[in-house]
Structure 1
Amino acid sequence: MALRACGFIVFRRPASCVPPPDNIEYLLLQTSYGKHHWTPPKGHVDPGEDDLTTALRETKEEAGLGAEQLQVIDGFVQELHYEVQGRPKEVLYWMAELRDPGTAVTLSSEHKDYRWARLEEACTLAQYKDLQDTLRAAHTHLEAQQDKQR
């Protein structure tokens, strides 16, 4: 049976002179274990817990950002499948906007650093193609939503 994890692609729109959607920044956390890879907040589903609850809990635990600080974006969910130490793993990512772009990130002991990065830097940090594709899909979703609002 595959390990199952859930999390959020958390983003913010800081005030800047760069026009949207190029001003969007994505939150990546650097693990304090293994190869110190960069990843959005995510974690394993606890017994009896639904996926979205897991994503919210893990984002709060790993980055200090709770449901009251996040706006979940409708219509976006990505499922990734890969192996970790020879075992299958599946990860579900939703997308959430940080309501106040100035909100502080508070890391857990699982991570040693964090970064807000625009799309291309986020993809460079992410390293894994499936995660890069997920970040690009999130960005495309936000662009499409913005086009509808025009």
Structure 2
Amino acid sequence: MALRACGFIIFRRVPPESAIEFLLLQTSYGEHHWTPPKGHVDPGEDDLTTALRETQEEAGLSREQLSVVPGFVRELHYEVRGRPKDSLYWLAELLDPHTMVTLSSEHQAFHWARLEDACALAGYSDLQQTLRAAHEHLLRGPSAS
């Protein structure tokens, strides 16, 4: 059975031109890779609740500080140390772009990055594709799905 993780691709719109920046966290373990906030589903917990809990734990951002974007969810499938893993991502806007990010001990750094820089940090092609799809979804606007 695959491990399952859930999280958010969090973005903010930066004045004055409302440029879109994505939040990536650098792990404090392993290869110190960059990833959106996400984590494993606890027993009895639904996927969206997991995403919200993990975002609070890993980045210090609460549900009240986020606006979930309708019509966007992506599931990535890959292997971690020889075991299959599924990661489910929703898209959420940080309502106040000046809100502070507070990292847990699982991460050593965070970075707000525009699309190309975020993709360069992300490293993995499936995560890069997900970031590009999120960006495209935001550019298309709320009427598209």
TM, length-normalised to structure 2 = 0.97
Distance 2:50 2:69 in 1: 16
Distance 2:95 2:136 in 1: 20
| Counterpart residue identity of residue 102, structure 1 | H
Unmatched runs of 5 consecutive residues or more in structure 2 = none
Equivalent residue runs for 1:1-150 within 5 Å? 1-16=1-16, 18=17, 20=18, 23-145=19-141
Distance 2:140 2:14 in 1: 19
**CA shift for structure 1 position 73:** 0.4
Percent identity of equivalent pairs: 73
**CA shift for structure 1 position 124:** 0.1
What secondary structure does 2:141 align onto? helix
**CA shift for structure 1 position 38:** 0.2
Distance 2:91 2:41 in 1: 17
Distance 2:120 2:14 in 1: 21
| Counterpart residue identity of residue 36, structure 1 | H
**CA shift for structure 1 position 90:** 0.2
**CA shift for structure 1 position 14:** 1.3
Distance 1:137 1:113 in 2: 24
Number of residue pairs matched by the alignment: 144
Structure with higher strand content: 2
Distance 1:50 1:4 in 2: 11
Distance 1:61 1:69 in 2: 14
